[in-house]
Amino acid sequence: MEILPGIEIAADLPAVYIKPANAVVISDTHIGYEDEMASQGVFIPRVQKKRMIEAYTKALNYFKTRKLVVNGDVKHSFSRLTKQEREELSQIFTDLKEKDVDVTIIRGNHDNYLAQLAEKFDVRIEESLVFDNIVLYHGHTEVVPEKGKIYVIGHEHPRISIRDSLGFKRRFKAFLVVPLKEGATALVLPSTGIYQPGNDISLIRSNYLSPLIREHATLEKAKSYLIVEGEGIMEFPELELIKDLI
């Protein structure tokens, strides 16, 4: 499915394919989250690494490319490179190198103390990437949107929560396509990390983390694409039409 010109989504993958770059893009994998929680006395299974490997392997095979971009927050800790992050990212980078995958990480707000490890595995770190009119950056910094550009960001971890008639909610990770006031468009990627369930998509501007969405979005016209694991992707109407459901 072409979600925007030059950008495809498919199956139940938390990834997009950028045609002009012949590259798969995922975001917000948050490797090392489990040890960070353990340091706070909360012990959870280590599944982030497995989730990331499964996601990029399926996406690379589906779109038949050997180029991968991680659009920010590949790791979780702000203040250091933890033992878990070093070990698991080394295993991930080794796997990608053995598969002859060209890897670029776009720096997110969590991606501190990563440069030396990335260099060891020939993984590039960039602040942003541009392919024709498509701009990739993590989304935590301010930009001035330009007419006709498509800004692909992460950072938000978008999800949609749907209430049934009894008031119960079911939550789905989602892609969010947002028209911007300047005549540009934002595409917000879902998180890949299983422990990053997301921030609810809504019409409340202050709920959003990214300055791009808070300051420039026309939220009423935004559309969500829900990921239903094992089933596929469901396109939903504009937010103003489903405001009573979310």
Q: Which of 51-60, 126-135, 154-163 has the lowest mean pLDDT?
A: 154-163
Note the pTM of the prediction, 2 decimals: 0.96
pLDDT at position 246 over 90: no
Q: What number is the average pLDDT over the span 50-55?
A: 98
What are the pLDDT digits (tens) for 106-152? 999 999 999 999 999 999 999 999 999 999 999 999 999 999 999 99
Distance in angstroms (rounded) separating the CA atoms of residues 39 and 156: 25
**Confidence band (pLDDT; 50, 70, 90) for 166?**
confident
Domain spans of the chain, in order of start: 2-241
CATH topology of domain 2-241: Purple Acid Phosphatase; chain A, domain 2 (3.60.21)
Q: Which helix (H) or strand (E) holds 162?
A: strand 158-163
The candidate with the shortest Cα–Cα distance to 222, out of 184, 182, 177, is: 177
Distance in angstroms (rounded) separating the CA atoms of residues 122 and 238: 42
The set of residues, in sequence order, having a beta carbon less than 8 Å from that of 6 and lying 6+ positions away, is 18, 19, 20, 131, 132, 133, 134, 150
What are the pLDDT digits (tens) for 6-32? 999 999 999 999 999 999 999 999 999
Task: Report DSSP state, residue 159.
Answer: E
pLDDT (0 to 100) of residue 156: 97
Query: Which SS3 state, helix, strand or coil, does residue 45 take?
Result: coil
CB 2 within 8 A of CB 47: no
Distance in angstroms (rounded) separating the CA atoms of residues 17 and 185: 17
**Confidence band (pLDDT; 50, 70, 90) for 162?**
confident
